[in-house]
A and B are shown apart, each in its own frame.
Chain A
Amino acid sequence: MAHNLSPQFVTRVLSRYGSVVMLAVLIVLMSLASKEFLTVHNLTNVARQVSIFAIIGAGMTFVIITAGIDLSVGSIVALTACVAMTFIDRTEMDFPGIGIGIVIGAFCGAANGIVIARFRVPPFIATLAGLTIFRGLSLVITDGLPVIRFEGSFRFIGQGMIGGIPVPVIIMIIVVVVMQIVLRRTAFGAYVYAVGGNEEAARLSGIKVGWIKFWSYVLCGFLTGISGMILMARLSSAQPAVGEGFELDAIAAVVLGGTSLMGGRGTVWSTLIGALVIGILGNGMNLMGVHSHYQLVAKGVLIVLAVLLDDYLNRRR
């Protein structure tokens, strides 16, 4: 089959691996445009930047496969960072502080999940409310002021290296691998697809649809908590305004990976690719000296093009 380059075959490959092709093209373009792009230093830098929203994106992938959405992740980043940093600042217990931050993230997700699964509030509305509530709580806890700490072992998870690889990147790889396994190899993963792909059929198969949705949001909050901790450690600080707009980058990563917002399909792996596309596009434009205002425009255009391409390929199949 592989040697037979019929149009159907090309379409099939493109639609399945479209995001990988897009990433490859982007890498080639960027390395042609800038000599600095393909250096170890630069690529490490990109990977570190990407790790934060790739981890959130992994959780977002679960939520979006159930045909839901989580708009509150940016605020969860802020709340987890503010709570953990305040705790660390007062007690100097670094790793318990990080644990608390991650648990808070899971609780935020649980709050979203209860409102959505139990009270049947549409996910867009429920997490929009979460977005302002968690942001508001961050302001309450910090009184609107940044909490800064330039020392402490907690910084390791954001700034440390193991064998020349930044710790956030290692965490990202672990998260992506584990979450991909959860999605493809566990009953829970199969139920996530089932709920998003055909909710009624899932219910008739005896699946507790509400629980699956609930745990998807918990998982998303939990992973967002991990991202919040990495960001806090990287910045050596927490402030209530941090993480604004992260939900959009995370959703963009999921969508660029080819996951449908209608639910029922997608993989964590493709979300990682989507996150890398966004990260490399931004980095490449930085290297080329493109003004950040134009970068936003370019990112938006890329998202629309990617979705149109995906739609076109799906219709051709």
Chain B
Amino acid sequence: MPNSSSSSNPAVHPSEAVRSGQSAPGRNGRASLVLKNISKTFPGVQALKNVSFDARGGEVHALIGENGAGKSTLLKVLSGAHQADSGTILINGRKTVIEDPRAARQKGIAIIYQELTLIPWLSAAHNLFLGRENEFGRILIPLAEMNRRATDELKKIGIDLDPAVPVAELGMAEQQMVEVARALSEKAQFLLMDEPTASLTGREIEILFEKIRVLRDSGVAIVYISHRLEEIQKIADRVTVLRDGEVVHTGPVSDVTLSDLISKMVGRPMSSHFPPRTPAKGEELLRVEPVPGNTRSRAVVVHAGEVVGLAGLVGAGRTDWAWRLIGAAPTKGEKILIAGKPADIDSPHKARALGIGMVPENRKDHGLVLARTVRENISMTILDRLANWCGFINLANQSNSCSLYVERLSIRCSNDSVECGTLSGGNQQKIVLAKWLVRDCPIIILDEPTRGIDVGTKFEMYKLINELTQAGKAVILISSDLPELISMSDRIYVMHLGDFVAEVDSRKTSQEAVMHFAFGYFEGATHGP
């Protein structure tokens, strides 16, 4: 192993001989990870445009942006999961290529993902040294020694736990610290954390922050990605804002207010065209009261002929709420009234019987049976109506009702006997929608209906939404695309940490105001409830 540095960087793991592929820290003795003009394009979308970003030892650098602003793509470029199309990466001043996740680790980049990557029924010590057991012995692992070294590694970051306990029996914060300890025991100089507080409680967050500060002061460079702006003010030294794959701001946290940050994040151009909406509010179809005792959340009310938008950050709980509404996830105790009558929805079957249909976000896993035909998929929701008393399906009716919707939604397929898996994303999305149109559900939930589909199909989708509401149906639209949400909805409920914290009239609001609520920051919202 080439020893490229061991003396010039006293702050970072002084005793450690630097491992292969790792370069010396910069001239000023601080570890540095610099991205210059990184671009990355996926089919149909430019995820990163000339992004320049740097992480320096002894500093917490926060990376923020709206859903889809390019944070995760940037993270994947750094982890070696994606390769940038252009641009350079410099580690400690030396130009580097990160081929794959293993290479990233060897170069001292460790990533703590939102979903932890520990092995549940192995002990903390085993997890710490997974893949490096030969440091202990050739055949048998001396468990006592391994546990002792694990205890040492954990103590380095101030954690005191029994390393012999399976990680499945540890709390989330402890598991996270085991990951951090593992990263550091691999001599990581750069620690990238993706929403590390998403599953932690208030007390656990405080502990995590304490540890992060200790790490920072020992010379580790920390990149902190989070939706929680108040956390960023607490923990970060610098902040970079991404919008639509571009860096729109970099600077010390102390120089900007929360309100500034939100303003910088929003303002995605209204580039897509939206068909004009003529709202026709009818009678109340659905009312969902919050869990009794929850005074923070407000009731969601949906009327016939209305498009009700749900705004919120990823993880705010919009999809979970929808799944609870259709009985696909256990209820938390919300009171549901359908057309004024209390309804106890404990299964999607019940929801369907009560006239609620849902087009889920993940159409491939939750919306379609990819290996079956267009016809079979569309008619899946109405097989009970197509079957006669002894269960035989009326094939003529099946075929007729499906071709009607294939035509109405202009689903492009040679005939309705082709497998859904062979069609494009936009056509697949239309088929999932057709499933619920053919059922004639008065209430339809659309979860991110235009994600990953082309502009033309998006426009068709918008026109369909308008047709539906003109026919007296109600649409609940969940979307992270703010221009879309504001243009297509009549009213918008904003969700923050599982609660509907605000209701805004979409004709009188702005992207900025919605985002303020979505970040749980009310003072800056210009159009309050």
Contacts and interface: CB of A to CB of B under 8 A. Distances in A.
A193 B122 contact: yes
A194 B120 CA distance: 8
A92 interface: no
A198 B119 contact: yes
B152 interface: no
A141 to B, nearest CB: 36
Contacts of B165: none
A205 B101 CA distance: 9
B118 A190 contact: no
Given A187-B134, A206-B131, A207-B130, A197 B139 contact: no
A202 interface: yes
A181 B126 CA distance: 15
10 contacts: A185-B143, A186-B133, A187-B141, A190-B119, A190-B130, A200-B117, A201-B117, A202-B119, A207-B131, A265-B121
Interface string A124-141: 000000000000000000
A187 B140 CA distance: 8
Given A193-B119, A204-B102, 12 more contacts: A181-B140, A186-B133, A186-B139, A187-B141, A197-B120, A198-B119, A201-B118, A202-B119, A205-B130, A264-B119, A264-B120, A265-B120
Nearest to B79: A204
B117 A186 contact: no
A186 B133 CA distance: 8
B141 A197 contact: no
Interface string B115-155: 00111111000100011011000011101000000000000
Interface string B92-127: 000000000110000000000000011111100010
Contacts of A206: 102, 131
Interface residues of A, number: 19
Interface of A: 181, 184-187, 190, 193-194, 197-198, 200-202, 204-207, 264-265
Contacts of B139: 186
Contacts of A207: 130-131
B118 A198 contact: yes
B122 A190 contact: yes
A185 B141 CA distance: 5
Contact of A186 (B102, B118, B141): B141
Chain B at the A interface: mostly helix, strand, loop or mixed?
loop
Contacts of A187: 133-134, 141
B117 A190 contact: no
Contacts of A265: 120-121, 168
Interface residues of B, number: 18
A197 B139 CA distance: 22
Contacts of A202: 119, 130
Contacts of A181: 140
A164 B462 CA distance: 83
Most A Cβ at <10 Å: residue of B117, B121, B139, B141: B121
Nearest to A199: B119
Given A185-B141, A186-B141, A204 B121 contact: no
B121 A205 contact: no
Given A185-B141, A186-B139, A190-B133, A197 B117 contact: no
Contacts of A264: 119-121
Interface of B: 101-102, 117-122, 126, 130-131, 133-134, 139-141, 143, 168
Given A186-B139, A186-B140, A186-B141, A198 B117 contact: yes
A263 to B, nearest CB: 10
Most A Cβ at <10 Å: residue of B102, B118, B119, B141: B119
Contact of B121 (A185, A186, A197, A200): A197
B252 to A, nearest CB: 34
A197 B140 contact: no
8 nearest interchain CB pairs?
Answer: A187-B133, A201-B117, A265-B121, A197-B119, A205-B131, A206-B131, A194-B119, A205-B130
Nearest to B119: A197
A250 B139 CA distance: 28
Nearest to A65: B121
Nearest to A265: B121
Contacts of A197: 119-122
A61 to B, nearest CB: 13
Contacts of A185: 140-141, 143
A95 to B, nearest CB: 27
Most B Cβ at <10 Å: residue of A194, A204, A265: A204
Nearest to B182: A205
A195 B310 CA distance: 40
Contacts of A198: 117-120
A198 B130 CA distance: 12
Contacts of B102: 204, 206
Contacts of B101: 204
Contacts of B121: 193, 197, 264-265
A68 to B, nearest CB: 16
Nearest to B166: A265
A146 to B, nearest CB: 42
A205 B186 CA distance: 11
Given A200-B117, A204-B101, A204-B117, A194 B143 contact: no
Contacts of A190: 119, 122, 126, 130, 133, 141
A261 B304 CA distance: 48
A207 B120 CA distance: 16
Most B Cβ at <10 Å: residue of A185, A187, A198, A201: A187
A198 B131 CA distance: 14
Nearest to B117: A201
B356 to A, nearest CB: 28
Contacts of A194: 119, 122, 130
B183 to A, nearest CB: 12
A206 B134 CA distance: 13
A243 B440 CA distance: 57
Contacts of B133: 186-187, 190
B459 to A, nearest CB: 38
A230 to B, nearest CB: 27
Most A Cβ at <10 Å: residue of B134, B141, B143: B141
Most B Cβ at <10 Å: residue of A181, A186, A193, A265: A193
A41 to B, nearest CB: 38
Nearest to B81: A204
Contacts of B118: 198, 201
Contacts of A184: 143
A126 B127 CA distance: 31
B119 A201 contact: yes
Nearest to A193: B122
Contacts of B134: 187
Contacts of A200: 117
B194 to A, nearest CB: 15
B166 to A, nearest CB: 8
Nearest to A206: B131
A201 B120 CA distance: 11
B396 to A, nearest CB: 38
A252 B98 CA distance: 47
Contacts of B140: 181, 185-186
Contacts of A193: 119, 121-122, 126
